[in-house]
């Protein structure tokens, strides 16, 4: 009898080992390259020439089906949601660093990336590794294929699901999630956040989101959830009306920095920090006085104020926040692609200013923070941008403009950009077929005290940074 039991157990163990071996052999991706190739073969609306913005292309039901196959990881951790036209990534990063400094394990999901896909998924300032990505891709492959039988998930939907899965695996205390396009139909909008933040709104992605500030605001307000506190910054009156109405419908308290929340900022210069901005923000539970903003520009002061206000809201719902630790975390913030100097001889700066409002803020910030004799701008952007609006702002700061084409399939022709620029201001400019050619033209036009600024598109500044790093990137 005993021998029979032992034999049965041995057989069972052998069968179990055999099954485990079969499971292991079913791993779809054995290398990072294979997993990466599969992911990049999915439809990527960030690179599509023409993107239809509707419930078919951007289908939250499809995203919900995919996440359900994964056990709904987005429901296992507290999350914060941030939408807006500009400043989302900066605000999200500053908030994440302050939470991390307070001892929390913090997930951060942002897009797009500059050099490496893994920049999008971060826990405590550390990107997801290649090995972790392979494991995640192996786990998500079958669910993706199952959903794909009727409705294939897109690149961004898979990336977002991977982020949620990774954050749940790591058991983060909180995840800070930035929307991709818009808000209402964005696949990140399946989450139930603890706090919502809306950064500055202006015209961008008008072909998809609408050509008025009211339509833009309505799309961003689509991430509001019933009863969830919302924080925003000073907005165009028409945009604010839309935000207020949506918040009222959902009985969600809406606070505005500089109005409902005491907030102010000032520009100054010191021997220790050079030119910089300081802010003050006071609520019944938090008080930040003369806090130095870690990123250049008054627009970053506004983003910083929003991050602080969101931190205060989290404190009000139970997060334990030490304000001194928050200040320390904020002081450690640095952000690639935001007024980043990537070369000193000649001086070359990159900045991801991709709409008229951002170009205005960039020109102003350079004038305040970077001394130069002449400013040469290398510019390229996508066709679906507010090109005329950007040209109108560009004319006020650039002494010389060189238009080029980014690697994006949606990139505008340099000659078309030059034509609009001439119509707007009548100034002379140059065109180049590639970034390399544009940089040669720029270098020949500058002296030691001049500044080259590459801007207009994430793709373009990503190319520029990779070029100066002199190593291949995905």
Residues 6+ apart with CB under 8 A from 221: 183, 184, 198, 242, 243, 246, 247
pLDDT digits (tens, 9 = 90+) for 36-82: 999 998 876 555 545 555 555 668 999 999 999 999 999 999 999 99
What's CA 18's distance to the chain center, in Å? 45
- Delineate the domains of the chain, giving CATH numbers in brackets: 60-331 (3.40.1190.10), 340-469 (3.90.190.20)
Residues 6+ apart with CB under 8 A from 160: 63, 109, 180, 187, 188
Residue 5's SS3 state is helix
Beta bridge partners of 254: 230
Closest CA to 99 of 313, 303, 294: 313
Distance CA 103, CA 320 (A): 9
Distance CA 468, CA 288 (A): 38
Distance CA 16, CA 216 (A): 56
Contact 291, 278 (CB under 8 A): yes
Distance CA 203, CA 236 (A): 11
Confidence band, pLDDT 50/70/90 cuts, at residue 24: very low
User: Does 474 score more than 80 pLDDT?
Assistant: no
Burial 115-140 (b: 16+ CB within 10 A, else e): bebbbbbbbeeebbebebbbbbbeeb
Of the chain, the percentage scoring pLDDT greater than 70 comes to: 89
Distance CA 441, CA 448 (A): 15
As given in the structure block, the two tokens for residue 460 are: 């373009």
| β-sheet with 400-403: strand ranges across | 340-344, 347-351, 451-455, 375-379, 400-403, 430-431
User: Does 411 score more than 80 pLDDT?
Assistant: yes
* Beta strand ranges found along 49-151 (DSSP E): 79-83, 106-109, 121-123, 126-127
pLDDT digits (tens, 9 = 90+) for 351-390: 989 889 899 999 999 999 999 999 999 999 988 788 999 9
């Amino acid at each position: 009898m005993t021998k029979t039991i032992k034999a049965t157990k041995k057989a069972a163990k052998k069968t179990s080992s055999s099954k485990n071996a079969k499971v292991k052999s079913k791993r779809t991706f054995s290398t990072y390259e294979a997993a990466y190739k599969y992911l990049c073969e999915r439809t990527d609306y960030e690179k599509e020439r023409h993107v239809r913005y509707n419930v078919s292309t951007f289908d939250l039901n499809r995203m919900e089906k995919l996440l359900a196959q994964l056990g709904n990881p987005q429901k296992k951790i507290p999350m914060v949601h941030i939408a807006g036209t500009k400043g989302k990534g900066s605000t999200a990063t500053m908030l994440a660093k302050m939470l991390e400094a307070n001892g929390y394990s913090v997930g951060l999901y942002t897009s797009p990336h500059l050099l490496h896909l893994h920049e999008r998924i971060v826990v405590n300032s550390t990107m997801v590794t290649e090995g972790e990505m392979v494991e995640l891709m192996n786990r998500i492959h079958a669910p993706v294929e199952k959903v794909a039988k009727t409705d294939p998930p897109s690149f961004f939907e898979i990336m977002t699901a991977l982020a949620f899965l990774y954050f749940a695996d790591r058991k983060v205390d909180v995840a800070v999630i930035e929307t991709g396009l818009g808000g209402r139909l964005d696949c990140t909008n399946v989450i139930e956040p603890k706090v919502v933040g809306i950064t500055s709104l202006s015209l961008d992605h008008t072909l998809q989101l609408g050509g008025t500030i009211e339509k833009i605001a309505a799309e961003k307000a689509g991430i509001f959830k019933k009863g969830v506190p919302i924080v925003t910054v000073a907005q165009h009156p028409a945009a604010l009306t839309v935000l207020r109405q949506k918040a009222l419908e959902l009985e969600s308290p809406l606070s505005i920095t500089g109005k409902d929340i005491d907030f102010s900022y000032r520009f100054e210069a010191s021997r220790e920090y050079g030119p910089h901005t300081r802010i003050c923000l006071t609520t019944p539970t938090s008080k930040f006085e003369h806090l130095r903003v870690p990123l250049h520009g008054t627009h970053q002061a506004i983003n910083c104020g929003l991050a602080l206000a969101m931190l205060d809201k989290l404190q009000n719902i139970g997060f334990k926040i030490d304000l001194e630790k928050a200040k320390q975390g904020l002081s450690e913030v640095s952000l690639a692609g935001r007024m980043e100097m990537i070369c000193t001889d000649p001086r070359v700066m990159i900045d991801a200013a991709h709409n008229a409002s951002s170009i205005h803020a960039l020109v102003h910030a350079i004038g305040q923070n970077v001394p130069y004799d002449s400013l040469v701008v290398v510019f390229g952007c996508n066709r679906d941008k507010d090109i005329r609006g950007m040209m109108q702002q560009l004319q006020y700061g650039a002494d010389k403009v060189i238009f080029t084409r980014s690697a994006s399939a949606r990139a505008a022709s340099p000659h078309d950009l030059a034509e609009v620029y001439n119509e707007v201001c009548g100034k002379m400019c140059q065109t180049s077929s590639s970034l390399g050619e544009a940089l040669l033209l720029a270098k020949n036009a500058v002296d030691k005290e001049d500044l080259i600024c590459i801007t207009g598109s994430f793709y373009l500044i990503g190319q520029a940074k990779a070029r100066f790093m002199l190593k291949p990137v995905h």
